[in-house]
Each structure stands twice: as C-alpha cells, then as structure tokens.
C-alpha cells in the first residue's frame, strides 16, 4: 500500500519532471474526502474531458456539474501541456471499476478485460483529465502527450511504481471510451522509457496465477530477515499483490521476498480471518496456512495448489 503524497510532494514531483504547473486557487484542500477514504494509492488514471477551451475545462473539472460534484481529477492537462492542479485527496474521476484490473495494476502485470464495476477507484487512483473532445478526431498535440507522459512518470517515480501502474479509464470501467485518440499501451511504453525501465513489452495471454502452499510456507520460513530482496518463490509476488490490495502491505515491498514485512501483512490477514497465535493474546505468525491462503485466493482470483 502507498500512502498518498502530500500536496507539497505532488507539486514538487511534477515540477521536478519538467512540467509547467498552474496552481488553481484552493486546490490543496479541494477534495471529496467526506464521501469516503483516500488511499492507499495504487496507480494513475488518464481521462479525456469531452470539452474544448482550457478555461472552461478547468472550471468543469474543478467544480463538477449537475449530478457529479468536483473536483473531477487531481490535475487537468491542457492542450498546451500545462498541468492545472484542481484538487488534492479523493476526487470524482474513476468511479467503480474492475477488481481484477486493480489487482493487475498493483502487481504491475498486463491488464485483463474490464467486465465489472465493483471497486471504488476514487479511493485508490490519482486522476488526470486531459483536454480533448474525445471524438477520435480532435488532435493530441505532442506537447500535451509529453505532459501526460511526464505527469504519470512523476507520480510513479515518487511511489517507486513502474509504467503498468498507469491505466486509462477505458481499461477500468466497462463502457468508458477514454482516453480516445492514442493507445494506452504506447503511452505506458513512453512512461517506462522515461523511468528507465525500458518498454513494458508485448502483452502475454492472461492466465490465472497458481500458488503452491508448500513452496509459499517454505519461503515464509526460509530467511525473512535476509538483507535486500531475494526472490524466495515467484508465487510470493501473487500473495503480496493480494495483501497490497487488502491494504495490509506497502506496494514498495511487492518484491517476491517473503520477508518480515510480508510476514506482518499475512499475519494481519490471518487475524482478519479469525486466527491468533497459539498463546492467549499472541498475534498470528504470518506463515500461511491452508484456510487463510484459500480465503485470500478466493477473494483475489488466484489458485492454490499443494
């Protein structure tokens, strides 16, 4: 799980990435936090506005419209490449989306098809609205595409995310078309190159992950105090992604090493399942058991083998 960045950190990240930032008055305290929690943060979402004219567009994303109060994003990226900051905190931009897509964003793997709308994206995703009519004809100036690339990379850099933590609204919620006019996979390749990670590469066929209980337990017991991030078993990443999605593990520790932090995250999950230590008052130990792992697998769409 990533703690959302403060307003000062957000502003500094965008400026450090070379962006021209416009601070719309009141943006630091304008949000929808009273409607629900903000965080943990898992990714960055890109939209188009279906509007023309920068001043008018800024007003809409700042104030919202009938039936959808503002702010409608954190920043609006205009055609001239300037980023207008309009909100900080929870904003009305993502709505409900696909939980499997969120799991893929957290794990930074290729996105599955979005076919449900059950997860609160406003809680977990930063949002950038981009000035464009969204009709497939209105052009995307190079300076605007560069600003989208830089803005998304700036947030990923702060949170130690890769380019697969960036998605379009059309990849999140069934029926949404935005952004229309450029391909999100191409944009992710640009972001990956800016972050120094190379291109995300071709999309493999989606598969349902499998986790061996025996190998996972061995990983948990091998050497959790090891320095660095040795990958103790590839299935650990699948489990860690589920723990991140539950808000029990920071995304920065999604590394394949069943270390002390992963032990703590799993122990918190075990306690949510009703398990405790052997002695009264003792916490769960974080070494996965068949029942607690099966419950995690059922909720987060992976299979458990012996």
Question: The tokens 């002390």 sit on which residue?
Answer: 260
Both structure tokens of 61 = 């994303």
Residue 40: per-residue pLDDT: 96
* Digit-coded pLDDT (tens) for 128-147: 999 999 988 999 999 999 99
Asked whether residue 10 carries a pLDDT value surpassing 60, the answer given is yes
Residue 226: per-residue pLDDT: 72
Cβ-based burial of 222 (10 A; exposed 0-12, middle 13-18, buried ≥19): middle
- For residue 179, report the phi and psi dihedrals to the nearest 5 degrees: -80, 140
Residue 76: per-residue pLDDT: 98
Residue 204 pLDDT level (bands cut at 50, 70, 90): very low
| In contact, 77 and 45? CB cutoff 8 Å | no
* Digit-coded pLDDT (tens) for 235-268: 887 898 889 888 899 877 877 788 888 999 999 9
Q: 115 in the Ramachandran plot: left (φ > 0), alpha (ψ -120 to 50) or beta? A: alpha
The stretch 190-201 carries a mean pLDDT of: 82
Domains, in order of start, for the chain: 7-194 (3.40.80.10), 210-305 (no CATH)
* Digit-coded pLDDT (tens) for 77-111: 999 999 999 999 999 999 999 999 999 999 999 99
Residue 115 pLDDT level (bands cut at 50, 70, 90): confident
Residue 206 pLDDT level (bands cut at 50, 70, 90): low
% of the chain exceeding 70 in pLDDT: 92
* Beta strands 43-48; 75-77: pairing state: unpaired
Both structure tokens of 253 = 């520790």
| In contact, 261 and 285? CB cutoff 8 Å | no
pTM (global) more than 0.75: no
* Digit-coded pLDDT (tens) for 17-55: 999 999 999 999 999 999 999 999 999 999 999 999 999
């Amino acid at each position: 799980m990533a703690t959302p960045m403060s307003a000062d950190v957000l502003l500094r990240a965008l400026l450090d990435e070379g962006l021209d930032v416009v601070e719309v008055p009141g943006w630091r305290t304008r949000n929808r936090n009273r409607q629900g929690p903000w965080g943990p943060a898992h990714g960055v979402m890109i939209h188009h506005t279906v509007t023309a004219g920068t001043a008018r567009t800024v007003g809409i994303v700042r104030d919202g419209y009938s039936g959808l109060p503002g702010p409608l994003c954190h920043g609006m990226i205009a055609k001239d490449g300037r980023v207008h900051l309009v909100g900080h905190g929870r904003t009305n931009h993502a709505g409900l989306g696909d939980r499997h897509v969120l799991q893929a964003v957290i794990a930074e793997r290729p996105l599955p098809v979005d076919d449900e709308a059950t997860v609160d994206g406003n809680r977990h995703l930063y949002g950038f609205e981009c000035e464009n009519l969204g009709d497939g004809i209105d052009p995307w100036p190079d300076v605007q595409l560069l600003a989208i690339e830089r803005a998304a990379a700036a947030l990923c850099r702060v949170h130690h995310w890769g380019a697969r933590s960036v998605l379009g609204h059309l990849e999140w919620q069934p029926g949404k078309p935005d952004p229309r006019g450029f391909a999100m996979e191409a944009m992710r390749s640009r972001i990956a190159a800016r972050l120094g990670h190379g291109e995300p590469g071709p999309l493999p066929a989606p598969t349902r992950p499998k986790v061996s209980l025996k190998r996972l337990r061995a990983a948990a017991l091998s050497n959790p105090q090891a320095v660095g991030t040795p990958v103790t078993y590839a299935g650990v990443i699948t489990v860690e992604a589920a723990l991140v999605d539950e808000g029990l593990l920071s995304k920065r520790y999604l590394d394949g090493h069943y270390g002390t932090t992963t032990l703590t995250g799993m122990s918190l999950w075990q306690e949510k399942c009703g398990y405790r230590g052997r002695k009264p008052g003792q916490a769960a130990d974080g070494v996965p058991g068949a029942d607690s792992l099966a419950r995690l697998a059922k909720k987060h769409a992976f299979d458990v083998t012996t």
